[in-house]
Structure 1
Amino acid sequence: MDHDDARSGPYDPHGDPFLRTRFAVPAQPDTFLRRERLARHLDGTLRTPLTMVNGCAGAGKTLLVADWVAGHPELPVAWLTTDTDGQGPGMFWAYLLQALRTSGVPLPGDIASPADANRVGDALPARLAALLSARDRPVVLILDEFDRVTAPEIAAQLDFLLRHSTPGLRLVLVTRTEPLLPLHRYRTAGELTEIRDAELAFTPGEAARLMEAHGLRLSPAAVRGVVERTRGWAAGLRLCALAAEEAPDPELCLKEFEADRSAVADFLLAEVLRRQDAGTQELLLRVSVLDRFGPRLANAVTGRADAEAVLARLHRGNAFVQHIGHGVYRLHPLFAEILRAHLRMRRPGLEPELHRRAAVCLRTAGALPAALGHGAAADDWEFTASALVDDLALGQFFTGPRADILATLFSRMGPRGGEGPAPELVRAAARLSRGDLAAGAARLRRARQRTARYDGTAGEADTAAVRMGCALLDALVARLSGAPGRAEDAVREAEALRDLLPAELLDRHPEFFALLLDHLGSVRLWAGDFTGARDALTRAAVTGPGAPATALPREDALARLALLDVLHGWPDRAERTAREALAETERSGLARPASSGVERLVLAAVAVEREELGRARALLDTAGESHPALRDPVLEAGRALVAARLHLARGEPAAAWKAVEPGVPADADSPWARGETALVAAAADLAEGRPQDAAALLPEVPRDQPACAVGAARVLLAAGRPEAAVRLLDRAAVDEHAGPSVTVRAALVRARAADRAGDTTAARRLVTRAVTEAHREGLRRPLAETGSWIRPYLTPAPRHRRPVPSRPTGTPPPPVEELSGRERDVLRRLALAMSTEEMAADLYVSVNTVKTHLKNAYRKLSVGRRSEAVRRARELGLL
């Protein structure tokens, strides 16, 4: 990429301006030869969904298609020249969408560019297909240099788009290699127009006309000979024409070219490069290290001031310098490769210096990604790391769009690549992005030490960006280690440094403070500062809305806000916020493990509250697939606690205790994590008939948090201390500060205490309130936890006192056969009024298996209906 092409406008997933030259239809050179037979063949594009122009490098594919486009000005045409080899799906689709916009195709707001350069969801191709299929007039989409697209998922998504866009899309692939699309299917259906190497080859008549365009009038025999020797290869023919133009004997020159078919490189150097003056030869050798370049970049690399005129002359002279639009040039790939090899031979050791000059020029122009690439190619890691840190782009190691690129680039740096603070800071970021806390923290300490030494010789403003980077990584280390004080210090430091940096720089990198706030919010959540956590996470969730680089911190902040709602007993609100986080993931193209995973943890916790245990298990299994830099104590403690509560709901107290028993290592204690862990252990003790052991765990439970207070009250109640349980609820003011998941349990604790005191009226009123609220919120777990005492209160109280027929005395007869464990599972779900389908999903079995278990249970209980089975099971103490 060249800084001359970095202009304001829409941004790609890396946060860089789209390169407009990639949407430009290439212009034909003066010596271009229009070949009518190929143009007529290309007219098949209008009749078939897919057209493929497949030929070797230099076969004239791009100019052929560009000429065909010029001959059809009435067609809506979107042109995209694909980028470097191996580009990710997110970047490919972002550019494809921009190509459509550039061509005038209106795209609605729900078709947004992906945020992650390496990933894209299936929703985007589906929405685009729906839009194109509704068009009255098809769009011709031309993908030039499609051989650079090597990702199988891109080919699969393009195939889906093409199949579902008919008749609104005509796709033209210009490629050197066979694309991964299922060509056989299109070919069999007559839906493919193909132009291949053999057809692209020049015929003798066409070659003669090409030579005439170069001022050469050759005999038919000479033309046939050069066509045979080059096999009609367009680039080879043009190379021959260029070499023969000024030769005293053109036909002899062409015959000598025949002498060594492996001497194309020698030919290019001797007959194309040598015909230029010494200064132009030097310019070509030096710009060969560049991919695309404008005059300013060429001047910076060559040390000249006249590159613009020289490049224009070379382009006009067809000297393998291609003008691709907007003042940007590139060398023919074969020519560039040969020139680089010759540069190393003629100017050994110069190539790194050329890359260094390019890096400096590009950094000055604000083209950071290209500057980093050239800095790395120069092996100048002090410059490269400083460019990243000074641009405040260190957060891009964590935010997805450029993370993989930066990790790959700096993996070549090595332990001794640069001695200043910036390289050490980059090493720390690279290790922390992989979740290596110990190594990352050690590197961060070294970066701090080197910054302190540098501060002695530089002003405060000179080290502001480095210290900002240190603050960001300090906040991340604090988050991963559970150290709230360190996080607060880091954020204060960053805020104090903000005024020392240009506002434009801060605006260009919204991900910096989005990450900082997300780290702060998470570590406050760990410390039990719920109010402070909500404030920081809310600010993180709205920082840089729509910016691809802020997608990950926005998603993670929303997910942790949902976790706060779970801890406060608001399952419905938590579910909505978690789904909003999932929508952010889908909208931005983030995918596991690039996302936080917390939203799935929240949804699993909500599913447990609703007794949707199978769904909870599935969600919990995926909650661990998170970004390595987000696997902090909050996530680990949350996963352990939800897993434990799932085991309790399944009647597995020993497994519940095992899930939380190791604890989560952290520098500081988390009161809510400690309290919730103690409550899980107490619940396991209660389930195994040890109420006094459960009560012994209560000192670990904080009483100022409503959810923990209710859990402690339930333990006190089970230990035979109902008055103490009610007093605890009164002191915690549970009903004023908590959501329904907590208040329902609080009401049931009060109801049980009233029942034990003989106040059945109060007990019935409290049970009615709890059941009504639980039903409204879809909560089944709080009622399932109560035990058998609640059953008399679940039937309406009689309105009038009248004699009640005496019930048979004695114990009901046992079932004819003992129920299996699975049949008991089915009965428990039957009592919760679950449908057969819900039971099947919850138990991970088929509907027919559930029906078999029900049939066996009915037989053993001697009943014929659901209601009878539930009543009989309760009489027998099976529920």
Structure 2
Amino acid sequence: MPLLPPDFVTRPRLLEALDAAAGSAVTTVCAPAGYGKTALLADWTSSRTAPVAWVSLDPDDNDPQRFWSAVLCALGPVVPATSRLHTLAVPEEGSRADFLAELVDALDVLPGPVRLVLDDLQEVVDEAPLRDTARLIRHRPTGLRLTLVSRSAPHLQLARLQVEGGLARVGADELRFTAEETAQLLHATGVHCGDDQVRQLVKRTDGWTAAVHWAAVSLRTVADVDTFLTQLDGDDRSVAGFLADEVLARLPEGAPELLRRISVCDAVPAALARELAAREDAGAVLAELERRTFLVARVDDESGSYRVQPLLRSYLRADLDLRYPGLASELHTRAARWFEHRGRVGEALEHAVNGLDRAGIVALLRTHAVPCLLAGEDSAVRATLAHLGDDVVRADPVLRAARTLADVQAGEPTPAPGGNTLLARHHALAAGRAPGRATLSPGTWADLDRAWTSLHRGARRAAATRAREAVAAARRDGQDYLVLHGLAAIAVAEGLAGGQEAARDAGREAVELATRHGWRRSPWLAVSRLVLAADHLLRLDPEAAAREAAEVAAPLGAFVGGAAQFDGGDRRGGVEAMREARHELGTIAAGPAALVAVLEHHAAVFLEEPLHANEVLLWARDHLARTRESDLMLAWTHLAAGRLDDAAAALRSRRAALLPTTPVDVELAEVALAVAGGRRTDALLTLERALALAAEGDLVRPFALADPAVRHLLVDHSGGFGRLDAFAASVRDRLRRFDPAPVDDRLTEREHVVLQRLPSQRSLDEIAADLTVSVNTVKTHVRAIYVKLGVTNRRDAVLVAREHGLA
């Protein structure tokens, strides 16, 4: 059995996967070279008590006699001395049918199963030993568990075994290093990297075990970790040698050349691969490489595209330049034309830029830039305009118009385009009107510009007013895309200003308009969905929030989705999703930054994770000016630690708030302080103020994460809130659904019966008489109820019961 390397990191999730597969007749562990297959199996077998026979195969084992002799030799030390396996001999020539039958019989009567590991099975290509192995698998002796370790899928017929449930698989996807495992490896090798750097390393290597190890060794002597990670590729001498000798040299003839030529593409459709490589069978070759080597992965989309493993692709790209100088530019140009003819303009622009074809870039932009921007596909256009430079863009009226529209799309204040009739015509085309009849008032542009400028300055009401004026003008002119733009601005402005109903209406109309026109990738559609997702979140409707957030392909959408996951009951998973999405956020405006900080910090406090909460506070200091939200988060931190005076001091701040929920959160924190200080009357008055603030926008979420004393008071004072009673009842009803473990699931049927009688003024003796049981039995039930509800007295038990609708 192979020895483990000194810096080996045990990977519990993979050991558990192998444990789960241990009952299967056959387990395959298949991945390309360098994925740590052998080390994983060595770690697993050495840490388990089951007997293991290990055979390391090489090309000489294509001789059937040598192959089976090696198997018998490996089995000998791990089977009982009385086993017939010790007397078996492999025939020197002729049929091995009798030998295999005797081998199966001997394995069948073993007292317990033996694990036989056939490592490097890809070295065995001769038909005879593979046919014999298939026959052994077909008989499935009860005393044998077979593990096949190979760089490619074994040439054995295993489909029937899989259907019958006798096959388990561990592949490259499972063997890739996760961020957590990479951090452990770096620590084991004496390298210290931040979370973002670890994630970057995993992304650059795609979790390829050998590449992660190379990087860990190299990082020991690197001064600038960020620069090293940015430049990490397959051009490193040791990496390149491994890829050339252990990976490409073992591929079928012609496959390395195909991979070199498609290395100019990140993801290459099979049809484009045929054109780049001038091979009609390119798609079939890629499909076979994906099936047998895992070096190529099929992208799950309608185009049937393939993606080469990142580090291998970087090596192939460098090798292409070395072997064929200038060919890469030609291939990029071909790819640009191919994508353009299929309407995939973003990819066409990217290849035109990489091919250094300036004339082709300008031609593409003149034809496609404005229509792409109107369809919401702006990132590639903006990047390409920046690549061309100001001088080129200013000299061309079409490119100038495209950049103007791109700036407006991004919500960046720009000079109004005035009488730019060319841009107006493109807008008219997008709205389905004839170009000759297009009219667009400069005031529409000016109002949109002023709306976003006002938002940047924090003047939300002014922004909403300007955006409504722009929407009215755009509707008169039939410019639906500008209507969408303006509706998004209204939704954001009203949402931040506390006009939740107006924000909802604008967001819904924007989504309906974008859907009707097919503008699924419009940034304004994403903005509108985010507003709706946040609104659902604040109204404590996590399912609806998750649905909207899932449609937004951006870190902020992932963050809101994490918050919805948290509210839906997956507390740990949700808060980690929020943390991960926050790390992906770049520069972010004050309003969204406040939302991110408050949501994640409150969740961390709720889960009693002070270190996580402090991490969010530090992030907020870098991304958020001193605001009411900063003071609120500080107050929550002090409250959780029992520092009531410090919490009160933080709440006395009168800085401006950015979020509509902040005034509600502040009042609820004051309620908790009043209850802690024994000031029940003050607490009730403050709770009424919080309900009044929350009722207008239906803001329920602040109550869900508030101090338990707030929820108890809300239940205890049921019916006493006057005109706010209906809203208070609605809040209590939704709070019950917020609990991931319903209280009634914790109680026995008899405990339910006792709990329903506790709100009465009857003594325990009287309750016992009603139930015709002893008072000691009732006391036992009551003590169990207190423990399960997390209370210490009858009054609190009644409060919790009412809170959850049980009494």
Q: Shorter-chain TM-score: what band?
A: 0.3 to 0.5
CA radius of gyration, larger in: 1
TM-score (norm 2): 0.40
Structure scoring higher RCO (CA < 8 A, sep ≥ 6) equals: 1
TM-score (norm 1): 0.37
